[in-house]
C-alpha cells in the first residue's frame, strides 16, 4: 500500500538519517516508499515480498531475532533494520517476530543505493551504524603513573603495603598477550562440512568468518550442533546461513577484565580478537580466561548466569562478599575490583529482569535499565549501594507504565536481597522520579541546567554518570547525546564549578590534615567525599564542557588529553591522585572489613609517613584543580 505523502514526509523529518537529506531528496524518497501492515500471519510473506530492503517501523512492535532465536533488538516506531545486508551483500538470515501488529515502511535496495550515492551524510550514518554492530569500541589503558607532577618522593602510587611496582593482576593483562595462535578463518561461502573439517584439523572450537579482510561472523561447535545437526540441515550449505553475524569483538590492547565484562554482558563463550583496524587476530575463549585467573571471576559470574530463579540467585550472591574480600586482598587493584563488582551487579540485574519477564511477559515497550553513580562509572567498592533508574520510550499508557513500575520494584528489592544495599537517597528505579520516559528525563535535566540550585546541582551530578545495563541501545544513545548537549550550558557549568570550589579539602593551617568526621571520629578524613568524589566531579565538569558521554573517570581523562582547558600535566596529576586515593580506600576497607568503622574515612595518624605525605600531595592536587575550575568556569578569583 502507498502511505500518505504529507504524513510520511513529516515522519521522515523526525527519523535520522532521513532528516539529513535535502528537501528534494526527502520528497523524492517519500514518493518511493511502500508500506505494509505486518502481523504474525503475514510476517514471513512480508519478508519474501520485500527483501532485501531497508525497513522503517512506523507503528507496532517487533523483535529482530538471530537464526538461533536470540533477541538482537526490540524494534519500535522510527527504528531501522535490514541495512547490514544492503551494505554487505549478505543474505538476510535474521527473523522478525511480531510483538504488536503495525506498519513497516519499505525502502527498496535500489532506492537505498541511490540515496547513498547522492548524500554523503546518509551513507556515513549507515556505515557507522554497521561498524558499531561489527566492532566494539576500543577501551583505553590506564594513564601511566609518574612522579613528574609531584614533589620528589611524594608521587601518589600504590599505598604502602599494596602491590609492588610492576605488579599486574591476571585480569589486567592485555588480551593480545593471551592469544597464542593466529585466527582460523574461512569465507562466508565455505560449506558447513569445510568448516567442520577445518575445526577438526586446527583443533579449535570456533571459526572466524572473514570476507575481504573484514570479520563478518563467527561459527562455533555449538552452532554446528544446535543449528545444523539438530535441525537436519545439509552439510553443503554455506556457513553464512548459520553463523552468528556481526559478533562482539575485543581489541588486542584491552584487558582480560574488559573481555570478561563483555562476554558476561553478551552471554557468549568465544570472542574474536581484532587489531586497531578491525583485522581478525585470534579467538579468546572462556577457557583462556579461566586458565589465566584460576577460574575464579569467570566461574563466579558463570554461576550467577546459570541460576534458574530468584531464590537461587540470592543464594549464589551470598558468596560474593567473601569472594570479593579475598579477590581484593590478593589483587590489590582498586580499578579491577571496581570493574568486577560492577560486572557482578550488572549480571544480577540482568538475571532479575529475565525472571520478571518470565513471570510478567516481555517488556511492552522499549526501555533501558540505567546504572548511575559508581556502578555507572564501574568503580564500585565493597560498600557501594544502588544507584539505578529506568529510561522509557515516550507516550506509554498506564498499563505499560505499571509493568515498568513492577520491574523497578522487583529488581531493586532483588538486588537488595542479593546484598547490594538500597540507596539512602532513593535513587533507584523503584522510585517514580527515577523511572521516566525519554522526554521526562530530558525535562528533568533541562530544569537542572536552567535552574541550578545548590540542591539540584548536588543531586543531578549522579545522573550524568550513566550506563546502559540492559535495553534498547538506540534509545539510550539518543538520550545520552541529548543529555550531553544540555550539560554544555555555560550557565550550568559555571554554577557547578562554584559548587565544587566551595567544598573544603581537609588540609588546614601549615598543611596539616583537618578532620571531616564529627563525634568520636572527628579527626578522621573522608577520602571519598573530599577526595575521590571531588576528582570525579572535576573530571565530569571538563567532560560536560567537551560533550563527552563516557562515564568512567580515567577514560574521561584520556579523552580529555587534547582539551584546551585541561593541560596534560594537570590531567596526569588528577589521574594519579584518583588512582592513589581509590587504592588507599580499598586498603582501608579491607582493613576494617566486618567492623563498624567508617568505610570511606580513615585516621591519618595510622598511616605511614610516606603515605601521609602522598595523601597530602593528592589533596593539594584536588585543591589546585578546584581553583582551576573556579577560574575557568565559575569566574572565581
The string of DSSP codes covering 187-220 is -TTSBHHHHHHHHHHHT-SEEEEEETTEEEEEEE
pLDDT higher at 150 or 100 = 100
pLDDT at 171: 66
Domain final position from 486, 513, 539: 486
Q: What CATH number should be reported for the domain holding residue 505?
A: 1.20.120
Question: Does the pLDDT of residue 464 top 70, yes or no?
Answer: yes
CB neighbours (10 Å) of residue 296? 16
- Summarised one tens digit per residue, pLDDT across range 596-625 is 888 899 988 888 877 887 898 899 999 999
* SS3 letters across 275-326: CCCCCEEEEEEHHHHHHHCCCHHHHHHHHHHHCCCHHHHHHHHCCHHHHHHH
Residue 281 and residue 313 in one domain: no
Q: Are 441 and 391 in contact (CB under 8 A)?
A: yes
pLDDT at 38: 94
pLDDT at 292: 62
Of 21, 234, 192, the C-alpha closest to 122 is 21
Distances (CA, A) of 165 to 145, 151, 160, 482, 630: 10, 19, 11, 43, 36
Count of CA atoms in the C-beta half-sphere (13 A) of 191: 8
Question: Does the pLDDT of residue 566 top 50, yes or no?
Answer: yes
Question: Does the pLDDT of residue 149 top 60, yes or no?
Answer: no
Residue 76 and residue 37 in one domain: yes
Q: Show the cell assigned to 147.
A: 612522579
pLDDT at 582: 94
Question: Does the pLDDT of residue 328 top 90, yes or no?
Answer: no
Helices (H), 22-135: 23-32, 43-49, 83-88, 109-118, 120-134
The answer to whether residue 301 is domain-embedded is: no
Domain final position from 431, 462, 486: 486
The answer to whether residue 409 is domain-embedded is: yes
Label residue 40 exposed, middle or buried (CB < 10 Å: 0-12, 13-18, 19+). exposed
- Summarised one tens digit per residue, pLDDT across range 380-429 is 998 899 999 999 999 999 999 999 999 999 999 999 999 999 999 999 99
Q: Show the cell assigned to 123.
A: 551513507
The answer to whether residue 351 is domain-embedded is: yes
The answer to whether residue 159 is domain-embedded is: no
Residue 20 and residue 54 in one domain: yes
Q: Show the cell assigned to 400.
A: 505499560
Q: Mean pLDDT over residues 576-587, rounded?
A: 93
The answer to whether residue 158 is domain-embedded is: no
Residue 183 and residue 205 in one domain: yes
Average pLDDT, the chain: 85
pLDDT at 517: 62
Question: Does the pLDDT of residue 166 top 50, yes or no?
Answer: no
pLDDT grade, residue 4 (50/70/90)?
Answer: confident
Residue 128 and residue 21 in one domain: yes
Residue 118 and residue 207 in one domain: no
Residue 264 lies in domain:
135-150+171-292
| Domains: count for the chain | 4
Q: What CATH number should be reported for the domain holding residue 188?
A: 3.10.580.10
Residue 141 and residue 206 in one domain: yes
Q: Show the cell assigned to 79.
A: 527504528
CA 514 from chain centre, in angstroms, equals: 38
Q: Are 575 and 566 in contact (CB under 8 A)?
A: no
Residue 52 and residue 104 in one domain: yes
pLDDT grade, residue 35 (50/70/90)?
Answer: very high
pLDDT grade, residue 169 (50/70/90)?
Answer: low
Q: What CATH number should be reported for the domain holding residue 408?
A: 3.30.460.10
Residue 312 and residue 391 in one domain: yes
pLDDT at 165: 34
Q: What CATH number should be reported for the domain holding residue 101?
A: 2.60.120.10
Look up residue 565 and give its DSSP letter: S
pLDDT at 161: 41
Whole-model pTM over 0.75: no
Residue 481 and residue 508 in one domain: no
pLDDT at 520: 52
Nearby residues of 101 by Cβ (< 8 Å), 6 or more positions away: 37, 38, 39, 40, 60
The answer to whether residue 424 is domain-embedded is: yes
Nearby residues of 430 by Cβ (< 8 Å), 6 or more positions away: 408, 409, 412, 413
- Summarised one tens digit per residue, pLDDT across range 217-262 is 999 888 898 889 888 899 999 999 999 888 889 988 888 878 877 7
Domain final position from 486, 504, 539: 486
Question: Does the pLDDT of residue 294 top 60, yes or no?
Answer: no
Q: Show the cell assigned to 188.
A: 562466508
Amino acid at each position: 500500500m502507498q502511505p500518505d505523502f504529507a504524513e510520511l514526509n513529516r515522519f521522515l523529518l523526525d527519523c535520522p538519517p532521513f532528516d539529513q537529506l535535502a528537501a528534494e531528496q526527502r520528497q523524492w524518497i517519500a514518493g518511493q516508499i511502500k508500506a505494509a501492515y505486518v502481523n504474525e500471519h503475514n510476517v514471513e510473506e512480508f519478508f519474501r515480498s520485500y527483501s532485501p530492503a531497508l525497513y522503517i517501523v512506523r507503528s507496532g512492535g517487533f523483535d529482530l531475532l538471530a537464526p538461533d532465536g536470540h533477541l538482537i533488538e526490540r524494534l519500535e516506531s522510527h527504528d531501522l533494520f535490514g541495512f547490514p545486508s544492503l551494505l554487505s551483500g549478505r543474505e538476510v538470515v535474521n527473523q522478525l517476530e511480531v510483538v504488536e501488529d503495525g506498519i513497516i515502511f519499505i525502502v527498496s535496495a535500489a532506492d537505498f543505493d541511490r540515496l547513498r550515492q547522492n548524500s554523503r551524510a546518509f551513507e556515513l550514518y549507515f556505515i557507522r551504524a554497521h561498524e558499531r554492530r561489527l566492532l566494539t569500541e576500543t577501551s583505553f589503558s590506564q594513564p601511566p603513573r609518574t612522579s613528574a607532577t609531584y614533589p620528589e618522593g611524594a608521587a601518589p602510587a600504590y599505598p604502602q603495603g599494596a602491590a609492588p611496582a610492576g605488579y599486574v593482576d591476571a585480569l589486567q593483562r592485555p588480551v593480545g598477550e593471551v592469544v597464542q595462535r593466529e585466527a582460523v578463518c574461512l569465507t562466508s561461502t565455505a560449506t558447513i562440512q569445510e568448516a567442520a573439517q577445518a575445526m577438526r584439523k586446527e583443533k579449535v572450537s570456533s571459526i572466524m568468518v572473514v570476507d575481504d579482510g573484514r570479520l563478518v561472523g563467527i561459527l562455533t561447535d555449538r552452532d554446528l550442533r544446535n543449528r545444523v545437526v539438530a535441525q537436519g540441515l545439509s552439510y553443503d550449505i554455506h556457513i553464512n546461513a548459520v553463523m552468528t553475524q556481526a559478533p562482539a569483538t575485543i581489541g588486542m590492547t584491552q584487558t582480560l577484565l574488559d573481555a570478561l565484562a563483555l562476554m558476561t554482558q553478551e552471554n557468549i563463550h568465544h570472542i574474536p580478537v581484532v587489531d586497531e583496524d578491525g583485522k581478525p587476530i585470534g579467538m579468546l575463549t572462556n577457557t583462556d580466561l579461566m586458565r589465566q585467573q584460576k577460574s575464579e571471576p569467570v566461574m563466579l559470574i558463570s554461576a550467577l548466569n546459570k541460576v534458574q530463579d530468584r531464590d537461587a540467585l540470592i543464594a549464589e550472591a551470598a558468596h560474593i562478599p567473601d569472594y570479593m574480600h579475598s579477590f581484593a586482598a590478593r589483587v590489590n587493584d582498586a580499578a579491577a575490583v571496581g570493574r568486577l563488582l560492577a560486572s557482578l551487579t550488572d549480571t544480577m540485574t540482568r538475571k532479575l529482569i529475565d525472571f520478571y519477564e518470565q513471570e510478567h511477559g516481555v517488556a511492552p515497550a522499549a526501555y533501558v535499565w540505567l546504572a548511575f553513580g559508581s556502578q555507572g562509572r564501574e568503580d564500585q567498592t565493597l560498600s557501594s549501594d544502588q544507584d539505578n533508574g529506568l529510561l522509557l520510550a515516550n507516550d506509554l499508557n498506564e498499563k505499560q507504565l505499571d509493568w515498568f513500575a513492577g520491574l523497578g520494584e522487583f529488581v531493586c528489592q532483588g538486588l537488595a536481597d542479593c546484598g547490594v544495599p538500597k540507596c539512602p537517597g532513593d535513587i533507584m528505579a523503584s522510585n517514580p522520579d527515577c523511572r521516566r520516559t525519554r522526554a521526562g528525563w530530558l525535562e528533568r535535566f533541562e530544569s537542572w541546567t536552567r535552574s541550578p540550585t545548590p540542591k539540584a546541582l548536588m543531586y543531578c551530578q549522579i545522573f550524568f554518570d550513566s550506563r546502559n545495563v540492559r535495553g534498547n541501545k538506540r534509545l539510550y544513545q539518543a538520550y545520552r547525546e541529548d543529555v550531553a548537549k544540555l550539560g554544555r550550558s555555560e550557565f550550568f557549568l559555571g554554577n557547578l564549578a562554584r559548587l565544587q570550589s566551595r567544598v573544603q579539602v581537609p588540609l588546614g593551617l601549615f598543611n596539616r590534615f583537618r578532620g571531616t568526621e564529627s563525634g568520636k571520629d572527628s579527626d578522621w578524613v573522608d577520602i571519598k567525599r573530599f577526595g575521590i568524589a571531588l576528582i570525579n566531579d572535576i573530571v565530569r565538569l571538563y567532560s560536560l564542557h567537551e560533550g563527552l558521554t563516557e562515564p568512567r573517570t580515567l577514560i574521561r581523562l584520556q579523552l580529555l588529553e587534547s582539551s584546551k582547558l585541561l593541560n596534560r600535566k594537570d590531567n596526569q596529576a588528577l589521574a594519579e591522585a584518583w588512582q592513589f586515593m581509590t587504592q588507599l580506600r580499598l586498603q582501608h576497607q579491607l582493613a576494617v572489613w566486618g567492623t563498624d568503622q567508617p568505610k570511606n574515612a580513615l585516621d591519618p595518624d595510622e598511616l605511614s609517613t610516606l603515605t601521609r605525605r602522598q595523601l597530602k600531595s593528592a589533596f593539594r592536587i584536588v585543591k589546585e584543580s578546584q581553583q582551576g575550575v573556579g577560574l575557568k568556569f565559575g569566574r572565581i578569583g
